[in-house]
Structure 1
Amino acid sequence: MSYRGVVPTSSRSRVTSVLVLVLAAVSGLATAYAFPTHDVWWLAPVGVALLSAATVGRGWRLAALAGLAHGLGFFLPTLSWSGIYVGNLPWIALSTLEALYIAAMCAVTAVVQRPLAHTRLRPLAHAVVPLAWVLQEWARGTTPFGGFPWARLAFSQADSPLAPFARFGGAPGLTFAVAALGVLLHVAVATVVRRVLAARSTQRQGSSPTAVLPAAQPVLGAVLVALALAPLGLALATTPPTDGRRVSVLFVQGNVPKPGLDFNSERRKVLDNHVQGTLAAATRNPEPPSLVVWPENASDIDPLRNLDAAADVRLAVETIKAPLLLGAVLIGPGEYVSNASLFYLPGSNEPQRYVKQHPVPFAEYIPYRSFFRNFSDKVDLVTRDFAKGDRAGAFEVPVKGQDPYWVVPTICFEVAYDDLMRDSTLQAGKQENILAVQTNNATFGYTAESEQQFAISRIRAIEHGRSVVHVSTVGVSGFINPDGTYVDKTALFTPAAEFGSPVVRTEVTIADRLGPVPEYAAALALVALLAVGRWQRRRDARVDAAATDAAGPAESRRDSVVV
């Protein structure tokens, strides 16, 4: 009996579909537990393995539904912080949008795998999954409205043995490595299961099974294993450097009167908290640091226009006797406001500035406001849209008796964008520098968002070979070493002012040199696999047709019973 002759009943087909969707949803939940605050990093490849098992060999429609089930199981818990104060609709809408990218990925994977699965190149079908995962994360990190690259597989790996691979492949490469390990896990388990079932079948039938594999399959299988294990081997063999000149830095986590959307309803109090934290630190440690860093929204009163706010900032700078990098909301240009990092030097009244290049849609500006107002009046909580900066920022920090270094600011969610982080890191050129991630997590309450963002900064430290000063208005904040480690981090909604001695470095990592090459390579490889699969399938069909014609009717009938 031929395989094509075994037609499942509609009832059996429905049961199979339900089981596939359940397995896909479980895979999503498993992946969610890889992220903070659960931090079970090894569940990320397990989640990929389960999704691969759920979708392999399926048609593109069922694969897409499975991808959607995985995406909802993954994003709904991981992004639950997005609706903590604005209600369920924005949270569910965002999670569903992100899940649709997983659905599209699984549909594309099914389409590319199908021609490969019916040829001697079958092992290469599994290579489609990590390639598609890289492209899926690139797509949802750039579209729509500039994308939302949160909760990428790479960002779950801050404590993983794979983390050092970020120095070579960046976040896309690290995602590829995680997904490749997941596929390898799926293949290994599936192979063991098949052999066990075959052995039991043989025992029942009392015969020895014979299996003839095309000569190319062992070689291709070895290639697949190498693709999966090479990043792990490279990561395990790599010790990210932590050398460099140490400089003294103070960060101030001033805290807010209360969490929530109206955290800055007492804007003066938030500014005062950071001023007082700085003054107290100056008393505690008379030796001035080389730099003080305040978080995003430390001054929501424009210190360039408000004389009282300007006087408070100046008091902090002159008391601590050090340059100050602070996050402020500025009035203008025009009808807009600006989310900016201002860099003050002692003895100077004119700060340098960096304006956030990627304002967050639906949080810092509302695209198509009149349209989206039909779904939620929360859009009007953003009364004025934020302007978009047009260049990376880097500020020279003078050090008494030593060469200066540079501090490179990144504001809030910008830390999740590969190109912004890469351009910012390289902005300082060959000068020694550190990265400063200034953020405000007050609007997300006591959720996992702060820890997720801190984990992203840890991956960025490894990727760019830089120390990171990660400072939030309400926590978590901390000094991150170039190898992604940290000594301590602050608690949520607790005032803190901490001195640290991060190293300043000039290294340009392989990941920085490669830039977007991993995404380009993934796209080309995926297209090549699709083309090769279709070509090989047509070639095999011609060979089979020729063999059938030569064998005659008897041989043709005998071939039809081969599974």
Structure 2
Amino acid sequence: MRGLRNVAVAVASGLLMALAFPDWGWWPLALVSLAGLWWALEEAGAWAGLGLGWLFGIAFFAPHVWWAYVATDVIPWAALSVAEGLAWGIFGMAWAHVRRAGLAGRGVLAGPLLFALLWTGVEVARSYVPFGGFPWGRLGFAFVDVPIARLAWAGGVPLAGFAIVLVGALLGVGVERLRERRFLAASVAPVVAIAIVFLPGLIPIDARATDGELSVAVIQGNVPNRGLDSFSQAREVLDNHAAVSAQAAAVAAGTVDLMIWPENAADLDPRTDEQSRDTVTAAAQEMGAPLLLGTVDYTPEDGRYNTSLLWSQNGTVLDLYQKQRPVPFAEYIPIRDFARLFSEDVDRVSVDMLAGTEPAVMQVGIESLGRVVTLGTVICFEVAVDDVVRESIALGGEVLIVQTNNATFGDTAESTQQLQMSRLKAIETGRYTIQDSTVGVSAIIAPDGRVLQQTGLFTAEYMLADVGLRTEITPAVRFGGYLEWLFMGGAVIALVSAVSRRMRARYDW
């Protein structure tokens, strides 16, 4: 019966974790979820830990990435949920070894600290492996509106996530000690947990425009039809963005420094398609500003590039960026023959996306400022990829621009989940951040994570704003890479120590 109880608690905890993320956004449930997982794994051995953690992961990830089902079908969605759920299975197995080896002790803090260390180490690892990783659904993204999110300024998403897991585990310890009638320890745990949640709110985050302001027009043109068919409407999508640009130009022409179109707004590459070139050049001229636009470059013989172009008013390319981290099984298909055994949908991606090699920065001369401004220009999914964003800002990005296309995911939470990522990245980098989507949600975000303007979903809208430029480098940008290695290395050391101790005890070495 206890085994069935643990299964039920693990699954319920995973579902509660899903409710902590958009569109529900009930962040306290994540802490309840973590406490529940602590309880479910209380007496688990390694294999039981693997199974319970895996069930937790699937129960969380399946509803969290429901948009994958909407965009594709049941098999790709289920495969993604099961594969990503394994990360939490590995965590459960590792925690079982650590706890059974006695490393957690009986104090209030040691166990939760190790629990959080293992969780964060696994979370960082799954952000990079396999196939470049899948950093969607990291815990920190659910807490943007909570004071603890300010830890991202100091150490990025991993540090914020570590602190959140520590809080959840402390609540789990509190329940354990209460059950054991150790009332002093039971009272200490929630007090420490509350302090960890709210004290980071004292971290001062500078949201001033320290290096001038950039006047932008952010265009959301909308897409005629949703789902995968949206990619077959390139001409209509281009015309939609041109039409909304004309509306914005009627209000702000001559006062804008930069106009922004989203990913895939001009999939008919204006460098090779004459009609597209005429359309985007006319839009830039009408606004009186260079245009940052998303297109696809099909000139390579062995694939294509997801590309962002900085287009001048006279029809020339001022700068460009090619997406460095194409999404596996979405923009390119690794192990295609094997993947086809499970779903023929893999062949919808007939031309694999290639990985760009240059950092996500562009430079544009801004007449109103009398200088060149460096833009941080990540594309879509890359907003969740820590090293791509860090490099973009470390190399001089004064504002972070996220061009994205959410048309394939319908009325799901995919776009609002991505908005949460952009908001946390604004805190992490100390930059004003612009998320521009073909269909929404688009937004302008302050360096403290506040949304200053926001569009609707599947609407044609534009936003006009003066966004602050900043060059200060936050601790997260400067040291975040080292911190990731510290979390992964610490998790490996804890696991190896636990396994070694258990083996010595078993074989009396």
TM interval, shorter chain, is over 0.9
Q: Which runs of 5+ in 1 are unaligned?
A: 1-14, 199-212, 546-563
CA deviation vs aligned residue, 1:57-92 (integer Å, no higher than 9, x gap): 321111111101111110010011001132100001
* Pairing of 1:87-486 with structure 2 (within 5 A): 87-116=73-102, 124-195=110-181, 231-232=196-197, 234-244=199-209, 245-347=212-314, 349-402=316-369, 403-428=371-396, 433-486=398-451
Distance (whole Å) between structure 1 residues aligned to residue 250 and residue 499 of structure 2 = 72
Distance (whole Å) between structure 2 residues aligned to residue 118 and residue 159 of structure 1 = 31
The structure whose Rg is larger is: 1
Give the match's secondary structure for 1:162.
helix
Match of 2:463 among 486, 494, 498: 498
CA gap 1:348/1:258 in 2 versus in 1, 3 angstroms:
closer
522-531 vs 381-390, which moves further? 522-531
CA gap 1:146/1:281 in 2 versus in 1, 3 angstroms:
same
CA gap 1:464/1:31 in 2 versus in 1, 3 angstroms:
same
Cα RMSD of the aligned pairs, angstroms, is 2.6
Aligned length: 503
CA deviation vs aligned residue, 1:456-514 (integer Å, no higher than 9, x gap): 00000000000111000000001011000012311111001110121110111111111
The answer (yes or no) to whether the contact 1:165–1:234 under 8 Å persists in 2 is: no
Give the match's secondary structure for 1:127.
helix
Distance (whole Å) between structure 1 residues aligned to residue 505 and residue 382 of structure 2 = 49
Aligned-pair CA distance for 1:232: 3.6
The answer (yes or no) to whether the contact 2:303–2:351 under 8 Å persists in 1 is: yes
The answer (yes or no) to whether the contact 2:121–2:491 under 8 Å persists in 1 is: no
138-147 vs 345-354, which moves further? 345-354
Partner letter of residue 375 of structure 2?
V
Kindly report structure 1 stretches of 4+ aligned residues shifted beyond 4 Å. Answer: 117-123, 224-231, 527-541
Give the match's secondary structure for 1:91.
helix
CA deviation vs aligned residue, 1:82-133 (integer Å, no higher than 9, x gap): 0113210000100000111101111011111212268677852332210111
Distance (whole Å) between structure 2 residues aligned to residue 271 and residue 298 of structure 1 = 6
Distance (whole Å) between structure 1 residues aligned to residue 46 and residue 502 of structure 2 = 18
Q: Which residue of 2 aligns with 1:6?
A: none
Aligned-pair CA distance for 1:305: 0.6
CA gap 1:531/1:343 in 2 versus in 1, 3 angstroms:
closer
CA gap 1:527/1:394 in 2 versus in 1, 3 angstroms:
closer
Matched, 1:57 2:43: yes
Q: Which runs of 5+ in 2 are unaligned?
A: none
The answer (yes or no) to whether the contact 2:441–2:457 under 8 Å persists in 1 is: yes
Q: Which residue of 2 aligns with 1:489?
A: 454
CA deviation vs aligned residue, 1:495-545 (integer Å, no higher than 9, x gap): 01110121110111111111222232223433554577689999999xxx9
The answer (yes or no) to whether the contact 2:104–2:114 under 8 Å persists in 1 is: no
Q: Give TM-score scaled by structure 2 length.
A: 0.93
Q: Which residue of 2 aligns with 1:30?
A: 16
Distance (whole Å) between structure 1 residues aligned to residue 326 and residue 68 of structure 2 = 16
Q: Which residue of 1 aligns with 2:32?
A: 46
171-180 vs 377-386, which moves further? 377-386
CA deviation vs aligned residue, 1:330-385 (integer Å, no higher than 9, x gap): 11212311110000123352342100001111111111222222221111111111
Matched, 1:74 2:41: no
Partner letter of residue 131 of structure 2?
F
Distance (whole Å) between structure 2 residues aligned to residue 405 and residue 355 of structure 1 = 19
The answer (yes or no) to whether the contact 1:396–1:406 under 8 Å persists in 2 is: yes
The answer (yes or no) to whether the contact 1:345–1:351 under 8 Å persists in 2 is: yes
Q: Give TM-score scaled by structure 1 length.
A: 0.84
Give the match's secondary structure for 2:334.
coil
CA deviation vs aligned residue, 1:237-276 (integer Å, no higher than 9, x gap): 1132100132211110000111010113221110011111
Distance (whole Å) between structure 2 residues aligned to residue 48 and residue 393 of structure 1 = 35
Distance (whole Å) between structure 1 residues aligned to residue 498 and residue 321 of structure 2 = 49
365-374 vs 80-89, which moves further? 365-374
Distance (whole Å) between structure 2 residues aligned to residue 456 and residue 522 of structure 1 = 21
CA gap 1:349/1:187 in 2 versus in 1, 3 angstroms:
same
% identical equivalent positions: 38
CA gap 1:394/1:161 in 2 versus in 1, 3 angstroms:
same
Partner letter of residue 22 of structure 2?
P
CA deviation vs aligned residue, 1:280-327 (integer Å, no higher than 9, x gap): 211122343111110000011011111111111110111111111000
Q: Which residue of 2 aligns with 1:517?
A: 482
The answer (yes or no) to whether the contact 2:360–2:391 under 8 Å persists in 1 is: no
CA gap 1:537/1:126 in 2 versus in 1, 3 angstroms:
farther
Q: Which residue of 2 aligns with 1:555?
A: none
Give the match's secondary structure for 1:375.
coil
The answer (yes or no) to whether the contact 2:261–2:291 under 8 Å persists in 1 is: yes
Distance (whole Å) between structure 2 residues aligned to residue 80 and residue 233 of structure 1 = 31
Distance (whole Å) between structure 2 residues aligned to residue 358 and residue 533 of structure 1 = 35
